[in-house]
Amino acid sequence: MTETVARYEIGYVRCLDPHGSAVAPLPDFARAPQKLVALYCALVRTRAFDTKAIALQRTGRLGTFASSLGQEAVSVGVADAMRPDDLLVPSFREHGAQLLRGVTPLELFLFWGGDERGNVFAGPREDFPICVPVGSHAPHAVGAALAFKLRREKRVAVCIFGDGATSKGDVAEALNIAGVWRLPVVFVVSNNQWAISVPLRQQTAAATLAQKSLAAGFTGEQVDGNDVIAVRAVAAAAIERARDGQGPSLIEAVTYRLGDHTTADDASRYRDDAEVTRHWPEEPLLRLRHYLTELGSWGKAEEERLLQETAAEIDAAAAAYFDTPAQDPATIFDYTFANLPADLAAQRAAALGQAEAGALLSGGVTR
Ligand SMILES: Cc1ncc(C[n+]2csc(CCOP(=O)(O)OP(=O)(O)O)c2C)c(N)n1
Ligand SMILES: [Mg+2]
């Protein structure tokens, strides 16, 4: 005889459809049009930063950059659900979350220009720096959440990573121990359907990524990652459960990467243009703008003013980035080893000698 010993379901949450029509009763916070306007402004600001960063990279003034085009609602919705003293542990595509939490566009330009001083955030001092290795920050988020629990601090660590990261051992281990210890951590998978050139169907045979939480003993759900209202609602509920001692959650935000993987990639070599074109009408800014326009809370004049203001802010940050004196070339050598190995010591001396002679040491990026 076989008995069923466990049964699981994965839910999918959506508030606005791609046309901006409400398909479910909106959560309380979304009843205030000013709140939705603020979320819309955060989406537009994220895209303005993104567009400028790509332009700077294309003109040789920034290093490789990972665009968040089409995925802004994941970053913005999640960050807006956090309290200031919660902890963001981001991957490399979440500048929308960082900006909303008070990381400045200047700090982000510095980071992507190869200057580690960009990771010294004047705003959210304890938020983790951008993690470029795929998924290696998930155990770090768990460690921070363990510290919150041991110190009895009512804080939550929020770790965002991609669909590709869910195939990694460090992510699986992080989920597992977060479940065992019932830690105050929320894992967010920004499932943009691609990991560079690897499509989701080659990444996993599972029906959802949310269900990866089930084997670790906690809940997982999917949300429409292009619907900022739904993302914010689902993230807020998960964060408050974690704060309340109810343990971790996994949120799979289903979205789409409209751009190349990074500025070092050409997605047309492995992805059909038709697929990208099909996803454009679902992008997150359009959807919320439609809804706000229908409400009578947004119009052409507001849109024009917002675009002007964000462009002015981002242009000023770019100018400040150009004006920031380059870092001392010694810094690349000085903070990993207590005693510098001989080969690096020789490189350090050569680099400082070249710097003194006025040679360019910026790795090809000129501010
Ligand atoms: C440990 C590690 N392996 C490989 C890479 C190279 N790499 C950078 S991004 C990426 C794909 C990540 O895909 P996903 O997790 O879906 O995030 P996305 O880039 O789509 O946001 C890979 C393989 C890396 N940065 N770190
Ligand atoms: Mg991906």
What is the number of the ligand 1 atom nearest to the C-alpha of 261? 19
132 lines ligand 1 (CB under 6 A): yes
Ligand 1 midpoint to CA 165 (Å): 7
Question: How does pLDDT run across 215-252, given as a tens digit for each residue?
Answer: 999 999 999 999 999 999 999 999 999 999 999 999 99
Phi, psi (5° rounding) for residue 95?
-65, -25
What is the number of the ligand 1 atom nearest to the C-alpha of 196? 11
Residue 360 in this model has a pLDDT that exceeds 70: no
Burial-class residue 273 by CB neighbours within 10 Å (0-12, 13-18, 19+).
Answer: exposed
What is the number of the ligand 1 atom nearest to the C-alpha of 195? 13
Helices (H), ranges, the chain: 33-58, 72-81, 95-100, 105-112, 138-150, 169-180, 200-203, 228-243, 273-279, 284-295, 300-323, 331-334, 342-356
Q: How far apart are CA 70 and CA 275, in angstroms?
A: 14
Question: How does pLDDT run across 70-83, given as a tens digit for each residue?
Answer: 999 999 999 999 99
Distance of CA 179 to the CA centre of its chain: 23
Residue 362 in this model has a pLDDT that exceeds 90: no
Mutate to test the pocket of ligand 1, among 134, 197, 212, 257 (most ligand atoms within 8 A of CB): 134
| Residue scoring higher pLDDT (169 or 356) | 169
Percent of the chain with pLDDT over 70: 98
Give buried/exposed letters for 227-239 (b at 16+ CB in 10 A, else e).
bbbbbbbbbbbbb
pLDDT at 365: 67
Q: How many CA atoms lie within 13 A of 62 on its CB side?
A: 28
Question: How does pLDDT run across 2-22, given as a tens digit for each residue?
Answer: 999 999 999 999 999 999 999
Ligand 1 midpoint to CA 196 (Å): 7
95 lines ligand 1 (CB under 6 A): no
Question: How does pLDDT run across 246-292, given as a tens digit for each residue?
Answer: 999 999 999 999 999 999 999 999 999 999 999 999 999 999 999 99
Confidence of residue 355 (pLDDT cuts 50, 70, 90): confident
Ligand 2 midpoint to CA 306 (Å): 30
Question: How does pLDDT run across 191-206, given as a tens digit for each residue?
Answer: 999 999 999 999 999 9
Question: How does pLDDT run across 31-46, given as a tens digit for each residue?
Answer: 999 999 999 999 999 9
Q: Of all protein residues, whose CA lies closest to atom 19 belonging to ligand 1?
A: 195
Mean pLDDT on 129-147: 98
Q: How far apart are CA 259 and CA 273, in angstroms?
A: 11
Q: State the average pLDDT for the chain.
A: 96
110 lines ligand 1 (CB under 6 A): no
What is the number of the ligand 1 atom nearest to the C-alpha of 93? 21
37 lines ligand 1 (CB under 6 A): no
Cβ-contact 101, 45 below 8 angstroms = no
pLDDT at 73: 99
199 lines ligand 1 (CB under 6 A): no
What is the set of active-site residues? 257, 261, 270
Confidence of residue 130 (pLDDT cuts 50, 70, 90): very high
Q: What is the pTM of this model?
A: 0.95
Closest CA to 175 of 235, 220, 134: 220
Mutate to test the pocket of ligand 1, among 137, 160, 196 (most ligand atoms within 8 A of CB): 196
Confidence of residue 364 (pLDDT cuts 50, 70, 90): low
93 lines ligand 1 (CB under 6 A): yes
State both tokens at 301: 């004049």
Ligand 1 midpoint to CA 223 (Å): 22
Cβ-contact 363, 114 below 8 angstroms = yes
Confidence of residue 357 (pLDDT cuts 50, 70, 90): confident
pLDDT at 343: 97
* 30 DSSP assignment: G
Residue 363 in this model has a pLDDT that exceeds 90: no
